[in-house]
Amino acid sequence: MDPKLLLEELKKRDLVDESTAKRLFRDVDVSKKPLEEMLYERKLVSDEQVAKLKSEILKIPYKKVDIQGIPAAILNLIPEETVLAYKVVPISKTKDLLTVGMLYPDDEKAKEVLQFMGKQNRVDLGVYIITKSDYDLALRRYNPYLNEINAALKFIQPGDKKDDAPSRKVVSLDEGSSQGEEAPIIKIVATTLREAVTRQASDIHIEPQRNRLRIRFRLDGNLQEVLSLPIQLHQPIVSRIKVISNLQIDETRRPQDGRFRTVIMDRDIDFRVATFPTPLGEKAALRVLDPTVGLKGLDELGLHGPNMEIVQKGLEKPYGMILMTGPTGSGKTTTLYALMQILNTEGVNIVSLEDPVEYFIDGLNQSQVKPEIGYDFASGLRQILRQDPDVIMIGEIRDSETAKLAIHSALTGHVVLSTLHTNNAAGVIPRLLDMGVDKFLLPSALNIMAAQRIIGKICGECKEPKDPIPAVLEVIKSELEHLPAEIKKTLKTPYKVFESRGCKACGYKRYAGRIAIFEVFQMTRSLADIISHELNEGKIFDEARRQGMLTLRQDGILKALTGLVSIDDVLRETTETVEA
């Protein structure tokens, strides 16, 4: 709701003074947080006072709810993910009416989701405003994770010491959790890590705020707050993480990197840890490296049809480079791991240089570069050539020296896999030339150039076909006009795109995982002639079109027409990749 309106009401009732109101308004403007959230965090006003005020302003009744008295069958009417995302709790249900409690009843997205749920269940909706404390109690009814955390918090005593248990190559998360002053902290950290793996989070963020410790998970590419703890627990929790990742506990002024491995649900899970100093204390970010989630086949990643055929042919060649390109976070390294898994056979020696090693794969010889001691991609690549490799994977080509060594490796009988930063596949050749690679070497060294982006995969359970709006339809027709004839034959008209409204299966998030869109470009004699004579990016793109290359946007549109992704997401993600 409008923070000015709420602040005016708070001042009228002498609940905050003028200077506090100004400071709150400034902080809301900077942080973009709801004013109510700041009031809760700073304990300036009771949550009941805030709820009653909002009730008067919004003309929505306030209700004090007996959370423990709500039957489990009623709570199960709205999934936990929806409760977390939209701050809504089911209170009661009759034949024709579902009554819910909302923390932010003016949230348009929350109202849209509830209206959709009402239509699905053929019931009317009744809405009450509830307090933050009632909402938190409801979350504990939903989530065993929160129950475990709260059980551990009961044993926290003021002045608890930092944990100083020794680190190991494979750590036991619960070691020491049954005794001693550090036991509750160990329990909180272990439970949080298990919860992240269970929910298939890719990252965990442990962030000190002004009056609390915030823990967020990255789920399907989006950050979501899962826990708020007293700020006093910040340092003990970060210290516990530093202990098990073998970092210096007493060094808080500079960033540190580490990692540890543990067993969760009978799976070896690696956690990559990075600490970062902030004015409020150290922030810790943990990358969750679960092989069952992160290691995928090419088909699972979204490489289909002609693109898959071109890549498979490239992998069958005895030497040459396969380069993946795209911005940070576009899934390039994940694709390289998929390629290495295909090549990983008993008769092949695969050696990789990575920064850092994300997943350990049996049969691969993986090495992590350490630039601080002079072991970078270039120096490591020189050493790799003495290891009798068949396949070389270089995490990233960042500089001229690495680029030239990689080209040399491809020319001397090795398959070279690597990544590069360009907007599209056609930009690979100009980028390598900018790095000082001689252009006459490129036709013999390059096999495949591919670009990719990651897009949310819409839920298959609740997706519905619809007609694209006229402007989008024009874009679809324009892009598909240039498709190869054999692909055009498979398309059905009139064109339909798909929209997911949210359901229990996806927790009303509309998405169920992520998928990549690709463009794959291969070296040909025609392209070799262009490189040797009149090289420019326009002519490279013309050759790509002559080959029948699917652009990122075309591949995305084809996936949108089959109901894998949203057309809006495709158009947004490929805005900068379209030919000028």
How far, CA to CA in Å, does 421 sit from each of 311, 325, 456, 551, 569?
A: 19, 5, 22, 17, 22
Give pLDDT, residue 554. Answer: 94
- Cite the DSSP H helix spans in 200-326: 234-244, 291-294, 298-301, 305-316
Pick the CATH number of 295-577 from 3.40.50.300, 2.30.40.10, 3.30.565.10, 3.80.10.10: 3.40.50.300
User: Could you tell me which residues are beta bridge partners of residue 495?
Assistant: none
- DSSP per residue, 156-167: --TTPPPP-PPP
Count the helix, strand and coil residues of the chain and give each as a percent rounded to the nearest 5. 45, 25, 35
DSSP 8-state assignment for residue 317: S
Would you state the CATH architecture of domain 143-293?
A: 2-Layer Sandwich (3.30)
Task: List where CATH 3.40.50.300 sits in the chain.
Answer: 295-577
Over residues 281-332, the pLDDT tens digits come to 999 999 999 887 778 889 889 998 899 999 999 999 999 999 999 998 888 9
Q: b/e string for 367-378 if b means 16 or more Cβ within 10 A? A: bebeeeeeebbb
Give pLDDT, residue 334. Answer: 92
Pairing of strands 97-102, 88-93: antiparallel
Given a cut of 70, the residues of the chain with pLDDT beneath it are: 157-169, 174-181, 576-580
The pair of structure tokens assigned to 109 is 């997205």
Strand, helix or coil at 552?
A: helix
- Within 10 angstroms of residue 193's Cβ, the number of other Cβ atoms is 22
Give pLDDT, residue 160. Answer: 46
Task: List where CATH 3.30.450.90 sits in the chain.
Answer: 143-293
Cβ–Cβ under 8 Å, residues 272 and 286: yes
Give pLDDT, residue 180. Answer: 55
Give pLDDT, residue 167. Answer: 36
Q: How far apart are CA 26 and CA 384, in angstroms?
A: 55
Length of the chain: 580
